[in-house]
Amino acid sequence: MSKTNTEALKYNVTTLRAAGLEAKWSKSAVGAPRLLARDPHAPLEHARSTWWAVDRGMWAAMQKQGVREGFRSYTLLGDIFSVRA
């Protein structure tokens, strides 16, 4: 097994905040902990104002593209295709 130079990102608010995102822990409707994030410097308003759940897909994008870039690519169409709770 070969060793890569990229380390896995730590799944916590510090990782997201270090990249310039706002982040906080919250709970789902059934009480499960979940990590939320938003980008106060995003060019699109919905990414600045909406708290987004950091799920597996978003985390994978962050691992691949970098935290802020992964967040922005994952939330790009969120204003059009978002599901309101």
85: in domain:
no
1: in domain:
no
Across the chain, mean pLDDT equals: 83
61: in domain:
yes
Burial (Cβ within 10 Å: 0-12, 13-18, ≥19) of residue 41: exposed
Give the domain extent around 31: 13-76
81: in domain:
no
22: in domain:
yes
Q: Looking at residue 76, what DSSP letter applies?
A: T
51: in domain:
yes
Number of domains in the chain: 1
β-bridge mates for residue 53, sequence order? 36
84: in domain:
no
Dihedral of the CA atoms 35, 37, 60, 44 (nearest 10)? Answer: 160
What confidence tier does 3 reach under pLDDT thresholds 50, 70, 90? Answer: very low
pTM of the model: 0.78
20: in domain:
yes
Would the pLDDT of 45 be above 60? yes
What confidence tier does 75 reach under pLDDT thresholds 50, 70, 90? Answer: confident
